[in-house]
Structure 1
Amino acid sequence: MTSVPMPIPSRTQYVLEGIKHRILTGQLTPGQALVETELAAQFGVSKTPVREALKTLAGTGLVVMSQYKGVTVRMVDADMAREVYDVRLLLEPEALRRAVRRGASLEAARDALARSDRAADTAERSLANREFHRALYLSCGNPLLGRMLDEVRDQAALVSAVAWAADPSWEREAAEHREILRLALDADADGAAAALHAHIASFVHRAFPEVREEEGHQ
């Protein structure tokens, strides 16, 4: 029999979402220590839900647990960026191509793009950006493909948060998002997929030039 995952207790979920939000919006920075007692006090809970939340975040790749250093926010470097974005480049354009060919509704992507344009701060814009990309692949018709992309979604957002902190490039990416959505709404599956591939590749190469250099020597 296939085991059914147990639901996460509400307090653990509350702490999990709170810590994740702080990481993905840059309030908690890569390499920063995450101390259970401090987080418990901040969220008004015992250490148990904090400990469970950190274990879950370690499983998604947002934090690192070390016997010697304790728990820290995952560091972002060219190796991590290459791994995460390689998966996205392989899977995300194909998922969008399938969604367009299926005639899937992209209203959620349109809404996310509008929220990004109206965003009052980096946190809102970052969350809207994540929702835009997810809306493009979620209706691909293959739930497993969607789940695989969901698994790297948080790590991709962490890479983006670090890159944006060093070199904000919202306007350029928003223009690329609008072009991707235009092609998708025009039912140009191959064109939308190609534009999405170029968008993902240009971001990681711009944010982490060493990735391009290393690829050039392969």
Structure 2
Amino acid sequence: MTFAPTPIPSRTQYVLEAIKHAILTARLLPGQALVEAELAAQFGVSKTPVREALKTLAGTGLVVMSQYKGAVVRMVDATMAREVYDVRLLLEPEALRRSIAREASLEAAREALERADSAADKADRSLANRDFHRALYLSCGNPLLGRMLDEIRDQAALVSTVAWAAIPTWEREAAEHREILRLALDGDATAAAAALHDHIASFVRRAFPDDGDGGDAS
């Protein structure tokens, strides 16, 4: 027997999306405290939807909650970034290869790429990029694989937002996305998976180079 997930109340969803957008536009910075009373006053709601929103954001990895310090925006450092991107490297190229092998529609990936190109701010661009990657792996034929990648989507978006604030390389990533999609639409699963692997690896290498490796910071 399967159970449908409990829907999030509308006020909680509104607060959740607003806080997420603030984090992904760097209006709320990594390490910044998220005080329930202040957020409730800002959004004109009680503390209950704020508390529930923060719990949900903690589950996605954007917020860290502690008994003594309360809720704070998650810090992004090289260790955290490499852990998230290592999981992506292990799973995402294979999921894309399977999607192509199943001749899945990639229209959603094309639409997400267009939204990223016309994004109004870093948050919209990051979320569109996240949707682009999801569209590549969602039809891989293994729901568990898709859910595992879904679980780190927000963390990957946070990494990219923090990295872009220091080194704005989104035009380079957009060009790489277009090439990945071209190969996928051509049905070349091996080349598309390899291009995706290189795209993920090169981003984290540029954004968080190993000490002394002389990594490209462009």
Report the TM range for the smaller structure's normalisation. over 0.9
Paired residue type of 1:175: A
After TM superposition, what 4+ stretches of structure 1 lie above 6 angstroms from structure 2?
Answer: none
Partner of 1:105: 105
The 10-residue stretch of structure 1 (116-125 or 171-180) with the greater mean CA deviation from structure 2:
116-125
Paired residue type of 1:203: F
Paired residue type of 1:197: H
- TM-score, normalisation: structure 2: 0.93
Q: Deviations over 1:133-171 (max 9, x none)?
A: 111111111111111100000001111110000000011
The alpha carbon displacement at 1:127 in A equals 1.9
Alpha-carbon contact 2:119-2:125 (below 8 Å) kept: yes
The alpha carbon displacement at 1:70 in A equals 1.6
Q: How many pairs were matched up?
A: 213
Partner of 1:17: 17
Partner of 1:187: 187
Task: Give the alignment of 1:47-126 within 5 angstroms.
Answer: 47-126=47-126
The alpha carbon displacement at 1:68 in A equals 2.4
Contiguous gaps of at least 5 residues in structure 2: 214-218
Alpha-carbon contact 1:205-1:211 (below 8 Å) kept: no
Q: Deviations over 1:13-54 (max 9, x none)?
A: 211111112112222110011010111111111001101111
Identity %: 83
Alpha-carbon contact 2:24-2:122 (below 8 Å) kept: no
Task: Give the alignment of 1:206-217 within 5 angstroms.
Answer: 206-210=206-210
The 10-residue stretch of structure 1 (72-81 or 14-23) with the greater mean CA deviation from structure 2:
14-23
Q: Secondary structure at the match of 2:140?
A: coil
Alpha-carbon contact 2:123-2:161 (below 8 Å) kept: no
- TM-score, normalisation: structure 1: 0.93
Alpha-carbon contact 2:16-2:57 (below 8 Å) kept: yes
Paired residue type of 1:51: R
Matches of 1:181 and 1:3 in 2, distance apart? 35
Partner of 1:31: 31
Q: CA RMSD, aligned part only?
A: 1.6
Q: Secondary structure at the match of 1:56?
A: helix
Partner of 2:173: 173
The alpha carbon displacement at 1:99 in A equals 0.5
CA distance 1:24–1:211, change in 2 (3 Å): farther
The alpha carbon displacement at 1:5 in A equals 3.6
Contiguous gaps of at least 5 residues in structure 1: 214-218
Partner of 1:216: none
Partner of 2:198: 198
Partner of 2:216: none
Matches of 1:21 and 1:200 in 2, distance apart? 23
Alpha-carbon contact 1:183-1:189 (below 8 Å) kept: yes
Matches of 1:151 and 1:212 in 2, distance apart? 32
Q: Secondary structure at the match of 1:210?
A: coil
Matches of 2:147 and 2:211 in 1, distance apart? 26
Partner of 1:161: 161
